[in-house]
Structure 1
Amino acid sequence: MAMYIKDDLAAHLQSGCQLPVQLTLGSLAEHYQVSFTPVRAAVAELIDEGLLKKGPNKRLVATPQQSSEDSGDSEPLLPEPPRDPYQKIASDLVRLSLRGQPIYLREEATAEKYDISRSAIRNILHRLAGEGILNHIPRRGWRLQPFRQDDLQAYIEIREVLELKALELARPKFETKELQRILQANTPGNSTTQPLTVDESLHDYFISLSGNTYIQDFFDRQGRYYRLLFEWEDHDNDVALETMRQHREIITALLDKKWARACKALSHHILNNHPILSQIERTASAARPVSAAKNLAVKQRPPGRKPRDQKSKA
């Protein structure tokens, strides 16, 4: 990020164009949406290269640049903003999770693969752990949550019950303006090159409006991993289009106060909108390794001795 800030400011300074922000640490940090640390590093390099200097009052001042034929009113060639590797890593881990096997990740190897620092990859892995796709195992690294078809179906069944209840509780509190905003956000644009982005805020909206802390707690704790899977699934354009259509059907029924139709549409949406995940072969039992803990318990059981929970026959 420091390198991007430095290159971006350098492009403006060398072209003679007006800077997009005042030359203060606070203004620069606010403009680039970062802390002071990368701003200070960028400014220090620009001072070393002679593009900036400190004035008598210690304020930053742009150093006058020699004019060239290419300078003038032409727009400067600006660098591309750095891309957050979180989405790429999250998408890759979802794909690995779909194999249905618990995989361990090492920070050093993962950082090297994505060409980022250890501290950066550690922050991303902590974020993914908060989403429920990773578990941190002391002295072993990070364990990937394996996808199980049976677990998905069980989650969907409970999700349907709780979201229908949340919809019922939220019914008197719906605001027309907010529903219309979500409806508009789920309308595909005219661009054929930009990927579709599904607005999933409808679900969070009525779960929050329900006021039921137990429903909210379930989705906060159990729904994060599946939310990540569903977002990955929506990367498919056809799936995204169908998701938007189903969202609009639910919202339109709510705006028309057709409560039974809204409940039916919501139920259909939850149960039938996972064409990619539901097609994954049911290899859970075949791919699942035998529990090492269970084997160890059996081996340690004294010969001829029955388990505690098994009653001896008279």
Structure 2
Amino acid sequence: MEALGRRVVIDSLTSEKYLRVASISVAFYDYVLTLPAEWRFYRSQSSIFHLSLACTLFILIRYISIMAIVTSNYGFFSTAYTLQTCQQYYLVAPAFKAIQTMISQAILGIRTFNIARRDRRIGIILLLLYLLSTSAEWFADMFHRTPVIDDVRHCTSGDAGKVLSTWFYYLAVLVYDIVIVTISTMHLLRYNTLSSRVEQLIRVLIYDGIGYFIVLSASNVLNLILYRTTNIYTQSAGASVGYALTWIMSQRILINIRGMTEPNSQRLENVIVARPTLTAQKKVMSGLRSQFESKSHSKGSDGSKIPVDADLRAKSPRNSNDMELGIRVRVERSVMVDYMEESEQSSSWVK
């Protein structure tokens, strides 16, 4: 019976080793793949002392995630731990995990706040939900934690309490993700997209949110199930997978948002003008990127330059259902304006 139990432990450790190696490989591959995006984030900043919110969040989720993966896997793959040294180290990886989750949830919460057009009531609800969720996560992640030393001196942490509580950490994360993604998706579906470009923007935002939720929910459910078991040797088997997926999906949201709003000076964009979607679009992105400052001009029939905002008032028909009647488009360079059929009202898309 003892030999059978030892074999089960060895098999579980082997499976955990494969999961950890796979997650490290995927994380490293994604890190290399996103190095150009990281460079573009740095290059777009006005000063190293005045980083944008998006750039700050990108740096935090990227390098806190690396620390979480390194500390967790160092404890597992090292074979030099004693019970005394493991007691000094076993809470480091869970602490980085909680910090990583806080940053990831902040990214999702700020994104939802901007999608909701910075509505004050929505903002208060999101802030309270964030504080409640992170408090519950820290408590569940640290409560009843105990150092775990196996036969080959790997050091991990497990939940050895009479009442298992660490699984509640992943339940709190799941609840937060469900509420946040539901709020953002509902607001996105309410937008009246009259332009194919803005419709594409809304579609990408919806897919990002749903994709984030599906991928991380699968990881969280796996860890929730593992931490519901009483075998402390298998409880942390899926932790490294969670670190890698949280990192990848969170930074992808920031990269995609920046990619949709990044100016491209080498390409002349067609700006299709209408209401009310422009205001919605600008408010969605305004928290992560500042608005342009100088006015844009379009070319009239005689070749003269006409301010776009004046041209809007002249060309766009008024609609009693418009959410906002006054629109001013401000960009940093002159652009060509293409008008669609009169029967088709369109919206402005400025990159």
The structure with the larger Rg is 1
Normalising to structure 1: TM-score of the pair? 0.23
User: Which gives a bigger RCO, structure 1 or 2 (Cα 8 Å, sep 6+)?
Assistant: 2
